[in-house]
Amino acid sequence: MRFNVASRGFKHPKYIFVHKKWDREPRFNPGWFRQWRRTFFWKSKVTVEEIPVPIASGYSAVDANEFVTEHREKWIHPEIWPYEKKYEKGSPDDPAYKPIMAHHFNRSTTIYEGFKGAMNFSNTVMEGEDNLPSCISSLEDNISIEDKFISLLEKRLQFAYEDDCLLTKTRKVRKWPRLDIKPRFGFGTPVSRTEGNVLNSFYDVSQLWINKYHHLIDRRRLNYPTVLVPFVRDSQLITLDLSCDFVTLVQKSSDNYLTPIFNKSECYEEPSKTLDKKLISIHPCNWEICFDKTHWYSTDFAWSLPPKDQVHTIYLTDSRFRIKKFVDRFAKAKALMFCYGYGAAQFRLKHGNWNDHEDRINYQILEKPILVNSVFTNLSKNSVGFCTFQLNTTDFNSDVKNQVWFNGPYEINENKELILKKLIAMNLYGPYNQPTFLVNDKTTERDRAERSDSTSATL
C-alpha cells in the first residue's frame, strides 16, 4: 500500500519524531519568541531626542541623502588596497621599473655555458682544473685527522640528514617512474636546511681541529651577507647580487696577511705568464649569457668592511633555489662569479671609488692581487667542491688576466676525510704565510704543554 498524503486524507502528519520519541508537536519554549517580540516593540516606541547644535559662521547644513546622491568625483585613498592605482605587470608605469636595463646575476641564475662562461666574463684563465694551488696542497699533505673527528663529523651529518626534524611541510616533487601521480605532502627537514647543516658540520669540525693543534685562528663569520656590486662593460650596466650563506673574514695582522699565489708586488714574472694565455671562447655566445636581462633591480649598493679585514672564504649552497639535478659545471661557474664579485668589491672599497661604479679607477691592474676562496655544495649529487681565485685585474680588456683553481666536487659519504683535510688547509692559509704542521713532533707537544702550564698558573 502506498502511504502518501493523498491516501492518508490529511496534509500534515499526526505524529512526528522529536526529542527521541514520536510526539504530536515539537516542544519549544514560547517565551523566547515573546521576549524577542517584547524587546522589538519596546525599541520601536523609543523616541530619538533631538539635540540642537549651533552651526559655525560660514557653514551650512546639507541633507545627507542629497550629499551622497550628488554626482561628484569619488575619493580614492592612495595607499590602501584595493583602491591604489593598478599598474600593468611589466609596463614602464610601475614605480620599480628602471629605464636602463641591467644584466643581473644572483644565486638563482644558471650560467648554461658553465665555468667557461664565467671565465670569459671575468677575464680569467684556468690554472688548475682539478687541483688547488701548491701552497694549499702542501699544507693538506701534512694534515692527519684522528678517528674521533671523523666520528663527530658522521654524527653531525646524520643529524643534518635525519634527526633535524622540523615539522614543516616539504615541497612536493614528482619522481620517476610515478610522474603521473600527484605526490603527498611530507613533513620533515627542508632541503635547503639540510644542505646548510651539512656545510656547517664540515666547517665546525674543521675549526675544532684547528683550535686543537693551532689554537684559535681569527675567522670572523658573517651570516647571510647582502652585497650588490655594479659594473659597466661595453656601455651596459651589470649588477652582481652576492648574497650567500656565510663568509669568513681574516684580519690583517701584518702586511702579508693573505699571500696571493702569484704575488705581483714581489714577483711580477708570475702574473705576466697570463699575458700569453688566451681566454676560453664561448662563440657564438658572449659574456651576456651569464646574466638575466631585467628592468627591475635594486640600486642600493651600500657595503662596507672593517679597514683591516678581508674576505677569506665564501660558503655557498644551492638547494634553496633548486631541487632538480644540478650539474657540477654550473656550480663551479657560480662559485667563480661570487669570488670575482667579492674580490672586485674589496678592491673598490680599499683603492677605488665605491660611489661611482663608472669611474675608470675601478677598472685597472692591481698592484697587490687579492685572493678569495670558495666552498660550494651540490646536494643534488651530495658533493662538496672547492675554488681558489686570485684577482689580478678588474679591467675586462686587460692583457693580464685573473686566475682560478678548482678541486672536486667530492662525494660526501665516500670522501669525508679528504673534504675535511682540504677545508682545514684552506682555512689555515691566512694570517700566517706557511703555518707549521708538526702535529706529532715532540717539540711541538712540549711547547704546547708548557704554554698550557703557564696559562693555568696565570689563572
Position 94 scores a pLDDT of 78
Cell of 458: 696565570
- CA–CA separation, 324 vs 191, rounded Å? 11
Choose between 4 and 247: higher pLDDT. Answer: 247
How do residues 310-346 score in pLDDT, each as one tens digit?
899 999 987 665 655 678 888 899 999 999 999 999 9
Position 37 scores a pLDDT of 56
389 touches 338 (CB < 8 A): no
189 touches 200 (CB < 8 A): no
Residue 52 has pLDDT above 90, yes or no: no
Position 454 scores a pLDDT of 43
For the chain, the average pLDDT equals 77
Could you tell me which of 362, 393, 269, 290 has the C-alpha nearest to residue 332?
290
- Lowest-pLDDT range of 221-235, 292-306, 367-381, 429-443: 429-443
- CA–CA separation, 459 vs 442, rounded Å? 26
Cβ contacts of 173 within 8 Å, gap of 6 or more? 183, 323
Residue 282 has pLDDT above 70, yes or no: yes
Residue 187 has pLDDT above 50, yes or no: yes
Phi, psi of 262 (to 5 degrees): -115, 95
Count the helices and strands in the chain (H runs, E runs).
11, 15
Name the percent of the chain lying above pLDDT 70. 71
Could you tell me which of 78, 8, 111, 56 has the C-alpha nearest to residue 318?
111
Residue 422 has pLDDT above 50, yes or no: yes
Position 63 scores a pLDDT of 80
**Grid coordinates 672586485 are at which residue?**
344
Residue 241 has pLDDT above 80, yes or no: yes
Choose between 2 and 429: higher pLDDT. Answer: 429
Helix spans in 215-327 (H): 269-272
Position 363 scores a pLDDT of 93
Average pLDDT over residues 54-78: 75
Residue 210 has pLDDT above 90, yes or no: no
Position 342 scores a pLDDT of 94
Residue 302 confidence class, pLDDT cut points 50, 70, 90: confident
- CA–CA separation, 1 vs 399, rounded Å? 107
Cell of 22: 514520536
For residue 221, what are the β-bridge partners? 248
CA distances from 304 to 55, 67, 239 (A): 62, 59, 17
Position 278 scores a pLDDT of 85
H-helix or E-strand spanning residue 206: helix 191-214
- Lowest-pLDDT range of 148-157, 220-229, 252-261: 252-261
Residue 446 has pLDDT above 60, yes or no: no
Residue 366 has pLDDT above 60, yes or no: yes
Other Cβ atoms closer than 10 A to 327: 14
Could you tell me which of 366, 326, 321 has the C-alpha nearest to residue 346?
366
- CA–CA separation, 417 vs 112, rounded Å? 32
Choose between 206 and 74: higher pLDDT. Answer: 206
Choose between 268 and 75: higher pLDDT. Answer: 75
**Grid coordinates 611541510 are at which residue?**
169
CA distances from 430 to 248, 255, 347, 404 (A): 11, 12, 18, 18
Could you tell me which of 249, 239, 197, 217 has the C-alpha nearest to residue 101?
239
Question: Chain-centre distance of CA 356, in angstroms?
Answer: 26
Residue 148 has pLDDT above 80, yes or no: yes
Phi, psi of 73 (to 5 degrees): -65, 130
- Lowest-pLDDT range of 41-45, 57-61, 236-240: 41-45
Q: What angle do CA 427, 430, 431 make, to 5 degrees?
A: 135
Position 297 scores a pLDDT of 86
Residue 84 confidence class, pLDDT cut points 50, 70, 90: low
CB burial of residue 382 (10 Å; 0-12, 13-18, 19+): middle
Q: Of how many residues is the chain composed?
A: 459
- CA–CA separation, 73 vs 81, rounded Å? 19
In terms of DSSP bridges, do strands 168-170 and 228-233 run parallel, antiparallel, or are they unpaired? Answer: unpaired
- CA–CA separation, 408 vs 415, rounded Å? 11
Most confident option among 34-48, 234-248, 318-332:
234-248
Residue 418 has pLDDT above 50, yes or no: yes
Choose between 269 and 136: higher pLDDT. Answer: 136
Bin 407: left if φ > 0, else alpha if -120 < ψ < 50, else beta. beta
Q: In a 3-state reduction of DSSP, which class is residue 2?
A: coil
Residue 443 has pLDDT above 70, yes or no: no
How do residues 152-176 score in pLDDT, each as one tens digit?
999 998 888 877 766 677 777 777 7
DSSP string for residues in 46-79: PPPPP---PPPTT-----HHHHHHS--PPP--SS
Position 56 scores a pLDDT of 82
Residue extents of the structural domains in the chain? 13-41, 102-458
Name the percent of the chain lying above pLDDT 90. 20
Phi, psi of 390 (to 5 degrees): -120, 120
412 touches 419 (CB < 8 A): yes
Residue 260 has pLDDT above 60, yes or no: no
Residue 433 has pLDDT above 50, yes or no: no
